[in-house]
């Protein structure tokens, strides 16, 4: 077998195996497989640690859509506190911080409220930073776009539904586009720092896109205009990273 064909065979076999895990064992087993599998492209984006990672851009790198002061406070105050409090909770509850944070999230009902709030807060923000980029394409491509069109009819219809989920989330929370264990895309929202990985979530799935609609994420610039903040999110969404997450699962 030629080298290129062999690589393609191995890659396709790995994807088929992961898809089978999703279908037969659910999200937690699927995440475990993704975290431990050796992908042809390198490390999987579906594994989160317990420490805050550096931003890939400067605090002013997302201007004018997200202002410098908001990015500074959001990252260095709010998100940093979640990371610190998560590590404290993990030590108190004998959690192995060498394992992926996802292991905690899909068994979150076993842990304290402190763990739930801070594990969710840390995971959500670590994902959120990676989903933002000043240099981004305006729409998804290829397989991701095809699945969006299959499940929602069009990209525009998906974005409209996502925007509505974000706008209608009462109080603080998040809006999500997730990949479910039925190999479908789903839009949902969660309160506070909950997310669809948690076994207590009403709608479960692996997040592809997550938008922070806590007031601290937008209030300095947008005041009470949450809808404007949500609309502008699409202008800085890192579709390439969304595609990377999707490619691991399909």
pLDDT confidence of residue 31: 57
pLDDT in tens, the chain (250 residues): 444 444 443 344 444 444 444 433 556 665 555 544 434 333 468 899 999 999 999 999 999 999 999 999 999 999 999 999 999 999 999 999 999 999 999 999 999 999 999 999 999 999 999 999 998 777 999 999 999 999 999 999 999 999 999 999 999 999 999 999 999 999 999 999 999 999 999 999 999 999 999 999 999 999 999 999 999 999 999 999 999 999 998 7
Domain ranges for the chain:
1-27, 142-249
Please identify which residue in the block is written with the tokens 């317990």: 50
**Looking at residue 210, what is its pLDDT?**
98
Quote the pLDDT of residue 13: 41
**Alpha-carbon distance 152 to 154, whole Å?**
6
Hey, which CATH number is domain 142-249, 3.40.630.30, 3.40.50.10540, 3.55.40.20, 3.30.70.60?
A: 3.55.40.20
Name the phi and psi angles at 178, rounded to 5: -125, 160
pTM of the model: 0.86
CB within 8 Å of 102: residues ≥ 6 apart = 31, 35, 46, 47, 48, 123, 197
The residues, ordered by sequence, that sit 6+ positions from 139 with a Cβ below 8 Å of its Cβ are 145, 155, 239
Q: pLDDT at position 142, please? A: 94
């Amino acid at each position: 077998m030629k080298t290129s064909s062999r690589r393609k065979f191995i890659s396709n076999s790995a994807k088929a195996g992961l898809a089978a895990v999703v279908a037969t064992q659910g999200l937690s087993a699927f995440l475990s497989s993704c975290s431990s599998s050796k992908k042809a492209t390198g490390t999987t984006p579906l594994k989160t640690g317990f420490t805050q990672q550096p931003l890939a851009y400067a605090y002013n790198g997302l201007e004018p859509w997200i202002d410098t002061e908001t990015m500074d406070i959001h990252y260095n105050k709010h998100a940093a506190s979640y990371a610190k409090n998560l590590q404290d909770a993990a030590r108190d509850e004998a959690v192995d911080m060498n394992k992926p944070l996802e292991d905690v999230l899909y068994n979150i009902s076993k842990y304290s409220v402190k763990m739930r709030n801070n594990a969710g807060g840390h995971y959500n923000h670590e994902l959120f930073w990676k989903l933002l980029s000043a240099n981004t394409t305006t729409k998804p491509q290829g397989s991701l776009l095809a699945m969006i069109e299959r499940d929602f009819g069009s990209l525009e219809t998906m974005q409209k539904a996502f925007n509505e989920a974000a706008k209608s989330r009462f109080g603080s929370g998040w809006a999500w586009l997730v990949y479910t264990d039925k190999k479908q895309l789903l839009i949902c929202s969660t309160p506070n720092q909950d997310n669809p990985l948690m076994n207590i979530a009403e709608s479960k799935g692996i997040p592809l896109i997550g938008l922070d609609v806590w007031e601290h994420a937008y209030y300095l610039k947008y005041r009470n205009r949450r809808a404007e903040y949500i609309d502008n999110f699409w202008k800085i969404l890192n579709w390439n990273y969304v595609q990377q997450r999707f490619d691991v699962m399909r």
